[in-house]
Amino acid sequence: MPTVRQQRRGWSWVCWTAIVAAAGCGDAGSTSAGGPSNVAPTQPGGDPIKLLFITNSNADWWNAVEKGMFDGGRDFGVAVEMRRNEGTTAGQIRLLEDALSLRDVDGIAVSVIEAEAPGVADAMRELQKAGKVVIAIDSDTAPEFADARSAYIGTNNIAAGIAAGRAAATLRPEGGKVCVFVGISSAANARERKLGFFQGAGDRFVEAETFDDGGDKARASSNVDTALTKYPDVGCLLGLWSYNAPRIADQAAADPARRQKLTIVTFDLDELAVGHLERGNIDVTVCQNPYEMGYQGVKLLKALIQKDEATVAEILPDGKTRDTGVRIIVPSADSPIRGDNVLTIEEMKTWLESKGLKSS
C-alpha cells in the first residue's frame, strides 16, 4: 500500500457499484429513510453519508487503519477518505479547518496529535457546531477537552503500557536505565504508554531520558545513537510510536555485543519491524489493532449520524469509549513471555495476511 496519500482529493466511493447493483455489501443494502434497498445509507437530511479520517502523522501504521476504514466503508455503504497530517499540531488544525469547509462531510474521526492543545480541541468543537459528528481514534483529547468529541475508539494506552512494562520485567528482572523514544511526548497515547510502562515494569526500571523526534524518521535514528553514546549503561530501549521500532532495532543491531546487553521493547508492528522481530532484534512489541479502529470508527460514525442508538450502545459499552485491545508479539515460542494475548511473529503474520495487511 503506498505510504503517502495525505492530500488526496475526491472521495473514495467505497462499494457504490455493488450497492447500485444490489449485490449486497454488509449492511450497505439496508433501507434508509424508507428508500429502496439499493440506495446508500443517508444521514437524516437524506444525503449520502461521507466520512473523513484525519491522522496525527504519516507513519505506515496508518495503512492498517485505512484498510479497516475502507472495509468499513464497503460493508456499511458510506464514502470514506483519509487525510494524513505530517506530525505537527498546526498541520492537524489546518486539516480540521479544511474539514469545516467541506459541507458534504458528515463525520470526522481524528487522532489527536497533542492532547492538551486547545487549538485542536477548538477546531473539533467548531466541527460539532457545524453539525458534524466528531470522534477521536488512536489518540484522545485531554479529559478537560472531552466535550470536543462524542467518543473515543482505540487502545487503552495505560493498560498497553502496563503490558509492555510487565514484559520488560519478565525479560529483564534486574531492571535498569530506560531510554524512551517517541514522535511527540505530549501526545496522549505517548504519555499514557510511558506512564503505564513504568507502572508495569516496577521501580527497578528508571527513566534516563525521553527523546522526541517530531515525526522525523532520520532524527528518530539519530536519537538512538545519541542515547547509546550518552548512556553507555542503559539497559532498556523503549519505542513508543510505530516507526521508532525499526530505527531502534537498526541502531542496536549494528553492535551485536551491545545488543546482547539491551532489552528492546516497542509498540505497534511497523512493516519494517516485522523482519527485526523475526531476527530477534526486537524482544517484544505491544501491538494495537489499527484495522479495528478504522473499521469500528466507520461503523460508529454512521450510527451516530443516523442516531442508531442500539448500534452505538453495542460499540460503546460505557457510552464513551471502545477499547480495541492489544496483542503482545514475541520473536518465537521460546520467549519467556506468556499469556492468552501473546503471539509469535509468525502467528501475527498469518493474521495480517488474512486482512491483507503488512503492518499493524
Q: How many CB atoms lie within 10 A of CB 35?
A: 13
Predicted local distance difference test score (pLDDT) of residue 92? 96
Instruction: Label residue 50 exposed, middle or buried (CB < 10 Å: 0-12, 13-18, 19+).
Output: buried
**Pair (281, 221) in one structural domain:** yes
Predicted local distance difference test score (pLDDT) of residue 115? 87
How many domains would you assign to the chain?
A: 2
**Pair (143, 172) in one structural domain:** no
Planar angle of CA 89, 92, 93, nearest 5 degrees: 85
Cell numbers of 5, please?
496519500
Q: Note whether residue 2 is domain-resident.
A: no
Q: What is the rounded CA–CA span in Å between residue 239 and residue 209?
A: 12
Predicted local distance difference test score (pLDDT) of residue 46? 60
Q: Note whether residue 146 is domain-resident.
A: yes
The CATH number of the domain holding residue 105 is 3.40.50.2300
Q: Note whether residue 10 is domain-resident.
A: no
Predicted local distance difference test score (pLDDT) of residue 59? 84
Residue type at 298?
V
**Pair (178, 276) in one structural domain:** yes
What region, left, alpha or beta, does residue 202 occupy, with left being phi > 0 and alpha being psi -120 to 50 degrees?
left
Cell numbers of 325, please?
485491545
> Going by C-beta distance under 8 Å and a sequence separation of 6 or more, which residues neighbour residue 358?
1, 63, 271, 274, 352
Q: Note whether residue 107 is domain-resident.
A: yes
Predicted local distance difference test score (pLDDT) of residue 109? 98
pTM over 0.75: yes
**Pair (204, 253) in one structural domain:** yes
For 248, half-sphere exposure in the C-beta direction (CA atoms, 13 angstrom radius) is 33
Predicted local distance difference test score (pLDDT) of residue 188? 85
Q: Note whether residue 299 is domain-resident.
A: yes
**Pair (141, 165) in one structural domain:** no
**Pair (193, 333) in one structural domain:** yes
Q: Note whether residue 8 is domain-resident.
A: no
Predicted local distance difference test score (pLDDT) of residue 44? 54
**Pair (162, 95) in one structural domain:** no
Q: Note whether residue 309 is domain-resident.
A: yes
**Pair (347, 319) in one structural domain:** no
> For residue 127, what are the domain limits?
16-155+290-323
Give residue-wise pLDDT tens across range 206-255: 999 999 999 899 999 999 999 999 999 999 999 999 999 999 999 999 99
**Pair (148, 99) in one structural domain:** yes
**Pair (223, 295) in one structural domain:** no
**Pair (192, 215) in one structural domain:** yes
pLDDT less than 50: residues of the chain: 1-40
- The DSSP result for 297-320, as a single string, is HHHHHHHHHTT-HHHHHHH-TTSS
- The DSSP result for 68-87, as a single string, is HHHHHHHHHT-EEEEE---S
> Going by C-beta distance under 8 Å and a sequence separation of 6 or more, which residues neighbour residue 262?
234, 235, 236, 237, 252
**Pair (333, 299) in one structural domain:** no
Predicted local distance difference test score (pLDDT) of residue 43? 54
Q: Note whether residue 360 is domain-resident.
A: no
- Which DSSP symbol is given to 48? B
